[in-house]
Amino acid sequence: MTLSTPWGLGWLALLPVLYWLSLPPRPRRFEFTAHFAEWQAALAALRRRPRQAGLRFVLLASALVAIALAAAGAAVPGRPGPQRLVVLLDRSASMLASAPAGSASARAAARLAAAFAALPEPVELTVLTIGDGLERRHGASARHLQDLPAPAGGLDVDLAALAAATATADTAVWTLTDGQGQRGLPTVGALTVLAARGDNAAVLAVVVQDQWPLPTLQVAVEVVGYTAAPAAAELLVEGSVEPVPPVPLQLAPGEVVTHTLQLVRQPAGGELRCRVRLPGDVLAADDGQTLWLPPLPAPRIAARSDGEAGPFVRAAAAALAAEVAGQVVAAGAGDDVGLLLVDGGRVLLTPGTQRVLTFGTALRADGELVAWREPRAIDWDRRSPLTAGLDLSELRLDTAWRGVLPDGEALLWAEHAGQRVPLAVVVGDERCASVHFAFRLQDGNLPLLPAFPQLLRRAFVRCYGAGAALRVLSAPPVVGELDLRTAAAAPDRALPSFATPEQDLAAWCVLAGLALLALRSCVR
Amino acid sequence: MKRRAVTLPPPPPALSAPFRELLHALLARGVRLRGERTETARARRTALSQSGTFVGHRPYTRGDDLRRLDWAAYARSGEFFLKQLEQEERRSVTLWLDLSPRLAAGSPPRRLAAVRLAAVLGGLALRRLDGLTVLAPGHSPPVATFAGAADLDGLLRWLDSLPYSISAPDRGPELALQRSLPGRVHWLSDFARPKACERPLLALRRRGVKVTGWLPAIADDRGPVARGALRLVDPESGDELMVAVDDALAAELERQLATLARQQDRLFAQAGCRLVRWPVPAADDLRLEAWSAMLTEAAR
C-alpha cells in the first residue's frame, strides 16, 4: 500500500481522544458481586443489554483508521509493464487458407477477441492489419475488431522488422500471421503462428483478345499448382459464353500451365469466370478470376448524305456493317441505330452526345463554311486508338472545310501557315463519343485507302467508349501467397503482463469507515 | 458477555491484633453458645456417675451441672471449672464455612466478616462447650477439630489460613455425616444460590442436626451502593457485565435482591432452621457495641 499524502494519517492523533470519549461515565468502578444473577435479571427485566464499550471503541477506532487512510491517499501500487499493445495482424490472401480448425483468418480473429476481452482496460490498443494495404485501428474500434478488412493481397511488410521497430519498454507487440510470404518471423514480442499448409492451385492470369463488337474472343488461362506431387486438375470456364466443357490439366509442382480457349460470348455480355479445380486445395480465394464482357452493340448502321455526295458513304456503311456483323438501315427520325454516318450537308447535333461519324458535315445552322483547297502536309496521331498503327500517308484531299469541326481531340491535321489545323477530331467521353472529319468522302481518297475499313471500325468502337471495354472483376493473385508449403514457422510466444494502474483505495476506505460508524451506532 | 480468568485478592487478614483483643473481650462477656449433646455417650445421658478418664477442665458456664464442678480447682484459682472426662457426653458445635470466591464481594468483603464471625462462634464454643469442629469444604484438610480454650489460637491460625475455594454445597453435609460430627451446625455463607443450599440443608435436618444459618449482611445485599458505570465480575465464573447504574436499574436490582432474601428466608423456614442476617460492621469498627448484637443472636 502506498500513501500519496501521508500527513493525512495525522487524523490518528484523535485516537486517544476517542478512547477518552469512549470511557463510561464516572464514577467507573470494578466490583466483585455475589449477586451476578440478580444483576442479569434486573437488566433483563428492564430490557437492557450489557454495555459493550470495548467493541464500540474498537469500531470507532477502526472507522477513524479507515478515514485517516482515505485522507492519506491510500492506494495499491500498480504493476509495472507495457502500457500499449500493438497487434500486427496478417490479412494477406493466404490467411484464407482453410484448416480443420477454421481458416487462419478466423482463428486469428477468435484469438484476438479472447485476448482483448482479458486485456486490462487502461492498455492502449492499436491493430495494424497488413494485407491489401496497411490499415490502422486504435482504441475502442481496435478492441472490438470493427470492420476488419477481408484477407487479400500480399504481405508487403517485413513483419520482423516492423515488430522490432515497434516494440519498446512501454509497448508490447503481438504478431499474428500464417508465416506465408515472410523470410523470417518476428523475434520480438508475442507471436502466434496460424499455420495452414497444404496444396494450392491458382489462376495466375487470364489473357483475353476481345473482338468486340464481334462475339468471339480468345482466352488464354495461366494456371499454376503448388502441390507435393504432380496432380490432376480441371479448368472450368463459365459465365456469359457458350458452354465449355471442363478442361483437364496436369499440374506439375510450381510450373505454369497455359491453356487457350476460343469462346463465343452471349450478346447481353456479363461475367466470365475462369476457375481451376484441384482436389485438396486449401486456398479457394485464388482458384479463379472473373471478367466482365461488354454486351454486343446494336448492329444497325445508318448513313445520310447530301445531294452532292457520292456512293462512298453507302459503301462505308456497308463495309462497317460487314466489319461488325451489322446491317445498314435507313436513317429515320426516332430510329434506334448503333452508329450514324453523315457525309456532307448540315446536321444539327451536339458533338459527343450521339454516336455519329460525320464527313464534312456542318453541325451548326449558322456556321459559315470556308473551303480549304488541297491541304498539305497531312499527318495523324500515332498514339490515338483510332489511328495508331494505320497508314494514312497516302491520304490526299482536294478540299477541306473550315468551320465544320467542333472542339475536340485532333487525330488528323494539315499544315497551314506553320500551324497544325485539325482535319478530324473526336468529341465525347468514356460513355459516348462522336468522330468528325473536315472533309467529305468524295473530296479525297480516304475511302480508297486500305486503312479506311479499320478506321471505321475503330471509330465505331470509340463511339461506344467504355461500353466496349472488358473489365477485370477479380484481383490477380499475389505470387508470394500461393505456395502454402513453405510458410515460415516458429513457436508461439505469449503476451507479457501489462502494467496495471495504481488503485485508489480512498473511496473504499471512506465506505468502510461509514459502515463501521453505522455498525457502531447499532452496538450499545 | 465476557468471561475472563479471575484473580481474586488474597483473603483479608481478618484476625488482626485489634480484633483479637475484641474477640477476647467478647468471649469474656460470658455468653453461652448453645451446643448439642453428642451421640457417643447417649446411654450415660442421665447417669450421675463421673466415671471416665480425666482429660481436662473447661470454664463453667451457666446451666452446667454443678455436680461436675472441680472444687479443688476453685480453691486454687477462685474460678469455677468443670472436669471433663472422656466418654462423657459432650456438647459441641460444628462450624461450616463457605470458602466460595463469592465471599470476596462487598466492601469490606463478606469473607472478612465470615471469618471473624467464625472466630467469635468458635471461641465461644471452645470457651463454653466441649468441642468444636470446623468444616471448610475445598480446603485441605476440610475438617479440623478443636477443644478447650487453649485451642483458640490454633483455631484462629487455621481460620486465617483458609483460602478461597469452590465446592458444591453438598460437600458440607457429606463431610459432617461421614464423621458423625456432633452438635449444632452453624453454616456461614452468603446463601446466594438458595436452590443449591436446599438439598444439603434438608440432608442435615433429616439426620436431626440443628442448623443455624449465618449470613453476614453487607451493603451489596440491599442494592447498588452508588450510581455510574460499573464493571461487575462474578468471582466464581469470571463472567463480566458492564452496566450503567441509574435509578431504574437500582430499583430493579433492589427488587431482585429482596426476592433473593425472601427465597433465603423461605429456605430456612421450610427446613425448620434459623437464618441469622448479621449486619456486618465496618472493617475497622471493632467496638464492643458493634458486635454485641451478634452475641445476642449466638446465644439464642
What are the chain A neighbours of B249 within 8 Å (beta carbons)?
A: 42-43, 46, 48
Structural domain boundaries enclosing A255? 202-293
Q: Each residue of A402-428: pLDDT tens digit?
A: 889 999 999 999 998 889 999 999 999
Element (H, E) at A15: helix A15-22
C-alpha cell read off for B140: 485441605
Contact B220 A35 (CB under 8 A): yes
| B169 plus B277 within the same structural domain | yes
**Count of the separate structural domains present in chain B:** 2
Together in a domain, A459 and A518: no
Give the single-character DSSP code of A145: T
Q: Give the pLDDT confidence of A151-162 residue by residue, as tens digits.
A: 888 887 888 999
Q: Looking at the structure, do residues B57 and B189 belong to the same domain, yes or no?
A: no
The 3-state DSSP class for residue B32 equals coil
- Does B252 contact A42 at a Cβ distance shorter than 8 Å? yes
At A325, the pLDDT band (50, 70, 90 cuts) reads confident
- A251 in the same domain as A127: no
Same domain for A92 and A62? no
Residue B45 lies in a domain: no
Tell me if B106 and A34 make a contact (CB, 8 A cut-off).
Answer: yes
ipTM above 0.90, yes or no: no
Give domain status of residue B46, yes or no.
no
Note whether A31 contacts B234, CB cutoff 8 Å: no
Residues B220-238: pLDDT tens digits? 899 988 888 888 899 988 8
Indicate whether A15 and A136 sit together in one domain: no
Q: Say how far apart CA B156 and CA B170 lie, in whole Å.
A: 25
Q: Which residue is closest to B1 within chain A, CA to CA?
A: A50
Hey, of B1, B112, B164, B232, which one would you mutate to test binding to chain A, going by the most A CBs within 10 A of its CB? B232
Q: Do residues A237 and A100 share a domain?
A: no
Contact state of B260 with A42 under an 8 Å Cβ cutoff: no
Q: How far apart are CA B105 and CA A35, in angstroms?
A: 9
Name the residue with higher pLDDT: A202 or A211: A202
Question: CA Rg, chain B, in Å?
Answer: 21
Which DSSP helix (H) or strand (E) runs through B23?
Answer: helix B17-28
Whether residue B219 lies inside any domain: the answer is yes
Q: Running DSSP on this structure, what letter comes out for residue A499? A: P
Same domain, A346 and A417: yes
Interface test with A, best of B1, B100, B107, B241 (most A CBs within 10 A): B241
**Residue B113: inside a domain:** yes
Q: What sections of A118-218 are H helices per DSSP? A: 140-143, 159-166
Looking at the fold, whether A206 and A63 belong to one and the same domain comes out as no
Q: Is residue B70 part of a domain?
A: yes
Facing B102 at nearest CB: one of A31, A34, A41: A34
What separation in angstroms does the CA of B172 have from each of A129, B141, B162, B266, B269? 99, 13, 15, 21, 20
Number of CB pairs, chain A paired with chain B, less than 8 A apart: 107
Domain identity same for B62 and B156: no
Q: Are residues B68 and B104 in the same domain?
A: no
Q: Find, in chain B, the residue whose alpha carbon is nearest to that of A24.
A: B229
How many Å apart are CA A224 and CA A229, to the nearest integer? 13
For residue B78, what are the domain limits? 52-86
Same domain, B57 and B138: no
Residue A401 falls inside a structural domain: yes
Q: What is the pLDDT of residues A143-200, one digit of tens each?
A: 988 888 888 888 878 889 999 999 998 999 999 998 887 878 999 999 999 888 889 9
Q: C-alpha distances in angstroms, A5 versus A73, B120, B224?
A: 6, 74, 52
Q: Is there a single domain that holds both residue B121 and residue B209?
A: yes
Q: Is the pLDDT of residue B41 over 60?
A: no
Supply A379's cell numbers: 499527318
Same-domain pairing of A456 and A518: no
Segment A257-279, tens digit of pLDDT: 999 999 998 888 899 999 999 99
- Considering the domain boundaries, does residue B240 fall inside one? yes
Q: Mark whether A232 and A254 lie in a shared domain.
A: yes
Tell me: do B166 and B190 sit in the same domain: yes
**Cell numbers linked to B54:** 480425666
List the single residue in B8, B241, B259 with the smallest CB-CB distance to A39: B241
Residues B70 and B157 in one domain: no
> CB atoms < 10 A from the CB of A66, how many?
23
A137 Cβ contact list (under 8 Å, min separation 6)? A126, A127, A128, A129, A145, A146
**Cβ <8 Å between B248 and A36:** no
**Residue A489 within a domain:** no
Query: Phi, psi (5° rounding) for residue B231?
Result: -105, 110
- Inter-axis angle of helices B288-299 and B110-128, nearest 10: 60
- Which of A36, A47, A51 is the best substitution to test chain B (most B C-beta atoms within 10 A)? A36
The answer on A351 and A210 residing in a single domain is: no
Based on the fold, state whether residues A90 and A234 are members of the same structural domain. Answer: no
Number of separate domains in chain A: 4
Domain with residue A451: its CATH number is 3.40.50.880
Identity of the amino acid at A139: G
Q: List, as ranges, residues 32-61 from A with C-beta within 8 Å of B.
A: 32-43, 45-46, 48, 50-53
**What are the tens digits of pLDDT across the range B257-299?**
999 999 999 999 988 899 999 998 888 888 888 888 888 888 7
Contact A39 B103 (CB under 8 A): no
For residue B225, being part of any structural domain is answered with yes
Q: What is the CATH number of the domain that holds B239?
A: 3.40.50.410
How far does Cα B100 stand from its chain's mean position? 14
pLDDT at residue number B48 = 35
* CA distance linking residue B247 with residue B251, whole number of Å: 6
Contact list, B257 vs chain A (CB under 8 Å): 35, 38
Which of B151, B99, B105 minimizes the C-alpha distance to B125?
B151
On whether both B126 and B60 belong to a single domain, the answer is no
CB contact under 8 A, A39 and B253: yes
Other CB atoms within 10 A of residue A152 CB: 17
Among A54-58, B89-93, B105-109, B169-173, name the one with the lowest average pLDDT: B89-93
A448 touches B: beta carbon within 8 Å = no
A328 and A180 part of one domain: no
Question: Which residue, B97, B99, B103, B141, is CA-closest to B122?
Answer: B97
Choice among A265-274, A466-475, B6-15 with the minimum mean pLDDT:
B6-15
CB contact under 8 A, A42 and B231: no
CA distances B285 to A158, B22, B108, B194, B281, Å, are 110, 10, 11, 30, 6
